[in-house]
């Protein structure tokens, strides 16, 4: 044996050496090694520092249950992954890994002072100590603790990797490809079932990978399954969560084991719906609880066998075993045969089978029955152990560099528990096993409690003559919870394991207590003198092991994070320098700055252009609903506040929509195209909500009405032409429509063609100017827009954005639902009582308008505000007070909802919601803003052309 690499054996490829780095040092391993096995083979025993006490820690396990050896892997800028388990990281050329939670270095760690002070850090220490004074927590304790304790660093740069994602469906999903999982797959393979077989490791086999006698069977099985067309094999894939109706989330690691970063996805999220699930997740060996059981070099006995037989790495040169279970004996026999020096077997039991004793004798291994380890010497590596007799406490010292623990087995019931399957306690194995399923699922193999590891006894702690209050016997290695902590929690009155867990943090680390839950339960059980089943059971929650955010996000990042909806005219706006804003999911042009213009200048220019000549605006995002059927008018009459039955075809009406609670939820201008056909418009953000609300009433309250609703938002591109020259511009382009004022009055709709394209032409105005809204089939939106721009050049046509639109509508006193209303505003509050059909017996929201709170005085009402200083533009959202001299905190009676500079009026204008505002016309209100409190007079909301002279031309 050279170093710690065994001469023979293992599944590593000794012809393919691999160079990698750990904490800046170069090491060599072989293809097939994990970071753990390669470093062990190099004689490395120290892998990290513990969470709270910064105690030196080595490898404890060989799989994903490893609690100690958390490391970070740096794959370059933005590709830093903390908190990986060294036992699950495959080495590859260039792998650059680091230990965590140490400063300045792993061997000389400043935080280790915590360990010397350990007696001052009992369970609940943080809760008790750092509570007062409160400000100290944020400023002093928390930052200090965060720096000293904790996991790896979170990456700070954007993740450049890409992640794939898919749904998958199968008749049978098998989680775990150890012998039991493989058998289940082989058995089902001959059927025509679609089978998915998932395993977290890089190759199939599970426990069989550490048992060379099974390798020929494994190879035959692997080939049979690979050849079967109905079997999908996913290795390096972790089923992390089991959700309702046999929905399983799994992450497949695609590239992390490869030397180079690639353009292909790093990981893939599988969202699997399975007819039946077979869980074959195996069992996890349990550590034993004794003083010094966390010293580097103390590890699970099964892990030592995996390192020897699978990876050809010896965990030590002189190895002792502390066991309570037959399986430990078999492990060290295997180690001895692989060439690892075995120093002694210490068994807590007084009797074991003669077969074991005979084999130990044959291999020349010293055996100490009815003995326990009571101490471990060595700080960065075991140098010797203390053992003593359980009855007379007579002891001895054994020199060794490694101590194995075999405390029995815990079935891995995590996913079973996610699925809400019940568990039953089995005394003889001291563990919970799956009982009644809650889904179509069954457990096979070791995770069902059926195994052939032999028998053992369950001990909560090894007997010791030492003062129990002065020893560190770890239960949860990752969260640094000792047996003493759990006993303290019990002494302080905690009775349920759920409370003990939260108080001590036992089982609350990233490993979710895979190696600690059962020992914690046993210790609590003894301390409470109650059976385990009376103390309860903690729940397991997804994820089974930590997963990257990238994998969970899948392709929902960057441009695919969420859809940005664009109109047909959006491309033109982009090419012509528009500045955009998002409105709901839509990207809308906010303004079109010319060279050197800021937003203020651009908006002023756009507003003046509309008022003086003609502006053009992309209104395509307005929601549109086509309401068709014999009962269309009756339906709208019931939905909207105003009357619809008498509206003539060809005419439009402003519609106000309330919720049943009487508050405004949407508005829009709608047109009657025919006796049984209406073209509704809604706000941009309200389109889906309004359609859903209307469908709700139609389907469930008035199913007798013969009327149907169809979203036509995206059927039409909508171009608003607004301004005194709008008609002159349109006239030569439109056919089949008489545009004259008499033939086509304000609030009318006509159908014809524009530039040869069919159009629904509305004569409407959200600006107070002569205006048209041109609806054309969406695909032609941009072409018609460009024609209008070309023809409009002689009128100096000006494209304007949402910002100018807001100013223009505010000058005219038009509200924007959702900006000037907030879901608690009635039509009366908004000054829109003219839009309520007083004679209608019923409409949605009518009854609520008579509710006591709605008719009570003092409601917030929408009013206009004119600042005493016309140059002051109030901040939207600014609070309003009646008396600025009152003591702070002042009584706020309302707030500013809309506020703009009006270039047309040469002053600022604003809307505000003010308690009792309608009664305050002409009165002065005060608006405190940074630096100064401003005065404003309450006014009506129409600031421009109140008589509508500009509209009816």
Partner 1 sequence: MSDALFRNEPVSSTPYVADGVSISLAAPLKRYSLRARTAEALETVLNVKVPQKIGATEGGIACLGPDEWLLRTPAEAAMPTGAGLPVAITDISERSICLVLEGPRAAELLMTGCPLDLDNFAVGRATRTIYETVEIIIIREGADRFHVEVWRSFAAWLWTAFTAAASH
Partner 2 sequence: MILIHCPYCDEKRPEIEFANAGQAHVARPLDPSSQSDEEWEAYLFIRANPRGRHHERWRHVHGCGRFFNAVRDTVTDKFETTYKAGEPRR
* Binding footprint of partner 2 on the chain (CB under 8 A): 243-245, 247, 271, 273, 420, 438, 660-661, 692, 695-697, 699-701, 703, 841-842, 846-848, 851-852
The interface partner of residue 169, options being partner 2, partner 1, none and the CB cut-off 5 to 8 Å by kind, is partner 1
Q: Give the gyration radius of the chain's Cα atoms.
A: 38
CB-CB neighbours of 403 under 10 Å = 30
- Which of residues 594 and 851 has its CB atom nearest to partner 2 in the complex? 851
Percentages (nearest 5) of helix, strand, coil residues in the chain: 25, 30, 45
CA 161 to chain CA centroid, Å, is 18
Residue 780, interface with partner 1 (CB under 8 A)? yes
Q: State which of residues 72, 99, 567, 902 lies at the interface with partner 1 (CB under 8 A).
A: 567
Q: State which of residues 145, 168, 881, 915 lies at the interface with partner 1 (CB under 8 A).
A: 168
Smallest distance, Å, CB 689 to partner 2?
A: 11
* Residues present in the chain in total: 953
Residue 716, interface with partner 1 (CB under 8 A)? yes
* Cα-based angle 53, 57, 59 (whole degrees, multiple of 5): 150
- Which of residues 689 and 746 has its CB atom nearest to partner 2 in the complex? 689
Tokens of 137: 């927590």
- Give the x-and-dash track for 517-556 against partner 1 (CB under 8 A): --------------------------------------xx
SS3 string, 180-239, reads HHHHHHHHHHCCCCCEEEECCCCCCCHHHHHCHHHHHHHHHHHHHHHHCCCEEEECCEEE
The interface partner of residue 245, options being partner 2, partner 1, none and the CB cut-off 5 to 8 Å by kind, is partner 2
Question: 881 by DSSP, 3-state: which?
Answer: strand
Tokens of 814: 């038009």
Residue 630, interface with partner 1 (CB under 8 A)? yes
Smallest distance, Å, CB 708 to partner 1?
A: 4
- Which of residues 360 and 849 has its CB atom nearest to partner 2 in the complex? 849
- Residue 654 bridge partners (DSSP): 669
Q: How many residues bind partner 1 (CB under 8 A)?
A: 58
Largest CA distance in the chain: 115
- Which of residues 126 and 702 has its CB atom nearest to partner 2 in the complex? 702
Q: State which of residues 537, 579, 755, 835 lies at the interface with partner 1 (CB under 8 A).
A: 755
Selection from 177, 168, 422 nearest residue 278 by Cα: 177
Smallest distance, Å, CB 729 to partner 1?
A: 17
The interface partner of residue 738, options being partner 2, partner 1, none and the CB cut-off 5 to 8 Å by kind, is none
Residue 55, interface with partner 1 (CB under 8 A)? no
Residue 232, interface with partner 1 (CB under 8 A)? no
Residue 167, interface with partner 1 (CB under 8 A)? yes
CA 210 to chain CA centroid, Å, is 37
Residue 165, interface with partner 1 (CB under 8 A)? yes
CA–CA distance from 355 to each of 304, 455, 675 (Å)? Answer: 22, 13, 96
Residue position matching structure tokens 């009165």: 923
DSSP states of 340-394: --EEEEEESSS---HHHHHHHHHTT-EEEETEEEEEEE-SSS--EEEEEETTT--
d(CA 315, CA 6): 10
The interface partner of residue 164, options being partner 2, partner 1, none and the CB cut-off 5 to 8 Å by kind, is partner 1
- Which of residues 23 and 676 has its CB atom nearest to partner 1 in the complex? 676
- Which of residues 333 and 663 has its CB atom nearest to partner 2 in the complex? 663
The interface partner of residue 30, options being partner 1, partner 2, none and the CB cut-off 5 to 8 Å by kind, is none
Selection from 803, 816, 733, 819 nearest residue 772 by Cα: 733
- Which of residues 202 and 714 has its CB atom nearest to partner 2 in the complex? 714
Smallest distance, Å, CB 791 to partner 1?
A: 13
- Residue 235 bridge partners (DSSP): none
Subset of residues 688 to 707 that bind partner 1, contact rule: CB under 8 A: 706-707
Q: State which of residues 156, 229, 436, 562 lies at the interface with partner 1 (CB under 8 A).
A: 562
d(CA 836, CA 827): 8
- Which of residues 420 and 600 has its CB atom nearest to partner 2 in the complex? 420
Smallest distance, Å, CB 771 to partner 1?
A: 23
Residue 243, interface with partner 1 (CB under 8 A)? no
DSSP states of 673-740: EETTEEEEEE-TTTHHHHHHHHHHIIIII-TTS--EEEE-TTTEEEEEEESTTHHHHHTTTEES---S
- Which of residues 248 and 784 has its CB atom nearest to partner 1 in the complex? 784
Smallest distance, Å, CB 150 to partner 2?
A: 34
The interface partner of residue 700, options being partner 1, partner 2, none and the CB cut-off 5 to 8 Å by kind, is partner 2
The interface partner of residue 787, options being partner 1, partner 2, none and the CB cut-off 5 to 8 Å by kind, is partner 1
d(CA 610, CA 769): 8
Tokens of 451: 């195994």
CA 602 to chain CA centroid, Å, is 40
The helix (run of H) or strand (run of E) holding residue 389 is strand 384-389
822: preceding bond cis by omega (within 30 degrees): no
Beta strands at 25-31 and 247-253: parallel, antiparallel or unpaired: unpaired
Question: 24 by DSSP, 3-state: which?
Answer: coil
- Which of residues 472 and 679 has its CB atom nearest to partner 1 in the complex? 679
Smallest distance, Å, CB 319 to partner 1?
A: 46
Residue 264, interface with partner 1 (CB under 8 A)? yes
The interface partner of residue 451, options being partner 1, partner 2, none and the CB cut-off 5 to 8 Å by kind, is none
Residue position matching structure tokens 């990876």: 311
Smallest distance, Å, CB 554 to partner 2?
A: 14
The interface partner of residue 692, options being partner 2, partner 1, none and the CB cut-off 5 to 8 Å by kind, is partner 2
d(CA 871, CA 688): 40
Burial state string for 789-823 with b = 16 or more CB within 10 A and e = fewer than 16: eebbeebebbbbbbbbbbbbbbbbbbbbbbebbee
- Which of residues 360 and 639 has its CB atom nearest to partner 2 in the complex? 639
Selection from 809, 864, 870 nearest residue 607 by Cα: 809
The interface partner of residue 564, options being partner 2, partner 1, none and the CB cut-off 5 to 8 Å by kind, is partner 1
CA 324 to chain CA centroid, Å, is 42
d(CA 723, CA 719): 13
Residue 160, interface with partner 1 (CB under 8 A)? no
Residue 791, interface with partner 1 (CB under 8 A)? no
CB-CB neighbours of 214 under 10 Å = 17
Q: State which of residues 484, 501, 565, 860 lies at the interface with partner 1 (CB under 8 A).
A: 565
- Which of residues 654 and 708 has its CB atom nearest to partner 2 in the complex? 708
Q: State which of residues 14, 139, 169, 257 lies at the interface with partner 1 (CB under 8 A).
A: 169
- Which of residues 428 and 695 has its CB atom nearest to partner 1 in the complex? 695
CB-CB neighbours of 288 under 10 Å = 28
Q: State which of residues 226, 361, 440, 564 lies at the interface with partner 1 (CB under 8 A).
A: 564
Smallest distance, Å, CB 411 to partner 2?
A: 24
Selection from 407, 419, 411, 421 nearest residue 514 by Cα: 411
The helix (run of H) or strand (run of E) holding residue 417 is helix 414-418
The helix (run of H) or strand (run of E) holding residue 56 is strand 56-57
Selection from 95, 237, 240, 85 nearest residue 152 by Cα: 85
The interface partner of residue 243, options being partner 2, partner 1, none and the CB cut-off 5 to 8 Å by kind, is partner 2
Q: Among the residues of 24-130, which ranges form H helices?
A: 35-41, 113-116, 125-129
- Give the x-and-dash track for 664-683 against partner 1 (CB under 8 A): ----------xxxx------
The interface partner of residue 560, options being partner 1, partner 2, none and the CB cut-off 5 to 8 Å by kind, is partner 1
Q: State which of residues 440, 576, 710, 924 lies at the interface with partner 1 (CB under 8 A).
A: 710
Would you tell me which residues interact with partner 1 (CB under 8 A)?
A: 162, 164-169, 194, 264-265, 268, 271, 273, 555-556, 559-560, 562-568, 571, 585-586, 626, 628-630, 674-677, 706-708, 710-716, 755-758, 777-784, 787
């Amino acid at each position: 044996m050279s170093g710690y690499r065994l001469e023979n054996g293992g599944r590593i490829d000794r012809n393919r050496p691999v160079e990698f780095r750990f904490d800046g040092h170069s090491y060599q391993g072989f293809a097939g090694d994990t970071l753990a096995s390669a470093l062990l083979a190099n004689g490395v025993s120290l892998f990290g520092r513990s969470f709270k006490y910064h105690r030196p820690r080595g490898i404890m396990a060989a799989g994903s249950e490893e609690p100690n050896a958390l490391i970070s892997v740096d794959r370059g800028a933005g590709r830093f992954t903390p908190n990986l388990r060294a036992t699950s990281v495959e080495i590859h050329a260039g792998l650059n890994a680091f230990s965590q939670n140490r400063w300045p270095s792993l061997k000389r760690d400043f935080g280790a002072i915590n360990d010397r002070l350990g007696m001052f850090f009992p369970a609940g220490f943080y809760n008790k100590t750092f509570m007062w004074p409160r400000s100290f927590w944020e400023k002093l304790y928390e930052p200090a603790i965060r720096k000293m304790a904790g996991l790896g660093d979170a990456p700070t740069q954007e993740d450049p990797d890409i992640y794939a994602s898919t749904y998958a469906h199968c008749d049978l999903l098998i989680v775990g490809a150890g012998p039991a999982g493989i058998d289940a797959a082989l058995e089902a393979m001959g059927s025509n079932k679609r089978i998915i077989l998932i395993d977290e490791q890089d190759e199939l086999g599970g426990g069989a990978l550490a048992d060379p006698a099974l390798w020929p069977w494994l190879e035959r099985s692997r080939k049979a399954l690979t050849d079967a067309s109905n079997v999908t094999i996913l290795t390096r894939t972790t089923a992390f969560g089991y959700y309702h109706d046999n929905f399983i989330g799994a992450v497949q690691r695609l590239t992390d084991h490869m030397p180079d970063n690639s353009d292909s996805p790093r990981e893939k999220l599988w969202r699997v719906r399975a007819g039946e699930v077979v869980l074959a997740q195996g069992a996890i060996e349990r550590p034993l609880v004794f003083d010094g059981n966390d010293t580097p070099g103390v590890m699970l006995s099964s892990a030592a066998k995996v390192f020897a037989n699978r990876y050809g790495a010896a965990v030590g040169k002189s190895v002792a075993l502390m066991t309570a279970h037959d399986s430990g004996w078999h492990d060290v026999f295997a180690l001895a045969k692989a060439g690892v020096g075995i120093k002694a077997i210490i068994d807590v039991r007084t009797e074991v089978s003669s077969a074991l004793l005979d084999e130990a004798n044959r291999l020349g291994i010293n055996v100490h029955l009815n003995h326990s380890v009571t101490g471990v010497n060595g700080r960065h590596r075991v140098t010797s152990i203390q053992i003593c007799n359980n009855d007379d406490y007579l002891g001895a010292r054994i020199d060794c560099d490694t101590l194995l623990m075999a405390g029995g087995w815990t079935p891995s019931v995590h996913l079973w528990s996610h699925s809400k399957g019940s568990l039953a306690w089995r005394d003889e194995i001291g563990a919970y096993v799956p009982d009644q399923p809650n889904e179509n699922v069954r457990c096979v193999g070791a995770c069902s409690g059926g195994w052939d590891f032999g028998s053992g006894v369950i001990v909560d702690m090894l007997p010791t003559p030492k003062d129990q209050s002065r020893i560190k016997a770890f239960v949860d290695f990752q969260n640094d919870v000792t047996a003493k902590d759990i006993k303290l929690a019990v002494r302080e009155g905690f009775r349920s394991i759920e409370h003990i867990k939260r108080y001590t943090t036992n089982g609350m680390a990233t490993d979710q207590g895979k190696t600690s839950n059962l020992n914690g339960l046993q210790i609590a059980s003894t301390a409470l003198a109650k059976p385990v089943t009376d103390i309860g059971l903690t729940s397991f929650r997804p994820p089974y092991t930590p997963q990257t955010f990238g994998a969970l996000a899948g392709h929902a990042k960057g441009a695919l994070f969420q859809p940005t909806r664009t109109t047909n005219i959006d491309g033109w706006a982009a090419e012509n320098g528009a500045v955009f804003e998002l409105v709901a999911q839509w990207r809308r042009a906010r303004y079109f700055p010319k060279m050197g213009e800021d937003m203020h200048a651009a908006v002023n220019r756009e507003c003046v252009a509309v008022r003086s000549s003609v502006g053009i605006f992309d209104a395509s995002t307005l929601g549109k609903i086509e309401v068709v059927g014999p009962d269309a008018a009756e339906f709208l009459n019931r939905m909207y506040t105003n009357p619809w039955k008498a509206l003539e075809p060809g005419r439009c009406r402003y519609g106000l929509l309330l919720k049943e609670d009487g508050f405004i939820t949407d508005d829009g201008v709608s047109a009657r195209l025919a006796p049984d056909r209406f073209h509704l418009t809604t706000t941009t953000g309200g389109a889906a909500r309004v359609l859903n609300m209307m469908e709700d009433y139609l389907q469930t309250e008035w199913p007798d009405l013969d009327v149907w609703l169809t979203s036509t938002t995206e059927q039409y591109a909508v171009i608003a032409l607004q301004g005194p020259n709008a008609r002159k511009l349109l006239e030569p382009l439109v056919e089949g429509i008489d545009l004259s004022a008499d033939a086509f009055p304000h609030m009318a709709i006509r159908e014809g063609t524009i530039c040869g394209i069919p159009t629904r032409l509305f004569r409407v105005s959200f600006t107070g100017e002569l205006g048209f809204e041109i609806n054309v089939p969406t695909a032609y939106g941009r072409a018609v827009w460009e024609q209008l721009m070309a023809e409009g050049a002689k009128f100096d046509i000006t494209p304007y954005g949402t910002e100018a639109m807001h100013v223009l509508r505010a000058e005219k006193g038009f509200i924007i639902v959702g900006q000037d209303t907030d879901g608690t505003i009635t039509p009366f509050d908004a000054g829109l009582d003219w839009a309520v059909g007083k004679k209608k017996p019923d409409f949605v929201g009518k009854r609520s308008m008579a509710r006591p709170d709605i008719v009570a005085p003092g409601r917030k009402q929408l009013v206009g505000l004119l600042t005493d200083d016309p140059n002051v533009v109030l901040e939207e959202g600014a609070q309003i007070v009646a008396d600025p001299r009152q003591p702070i905190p002042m009584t706020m009676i309302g707030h500013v909802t809309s506020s703009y500079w009006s270039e047309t009026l040469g002053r600022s204008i604003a809307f505000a919601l003010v308690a009792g505002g309608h009664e305050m016309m002409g009165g002065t209100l005060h608006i405190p803003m940074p630096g100064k409190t401003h005065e404003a007079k309450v006014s009506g909301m129409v600031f421009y052309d109140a008589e509508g002279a500009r509209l009816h031309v």
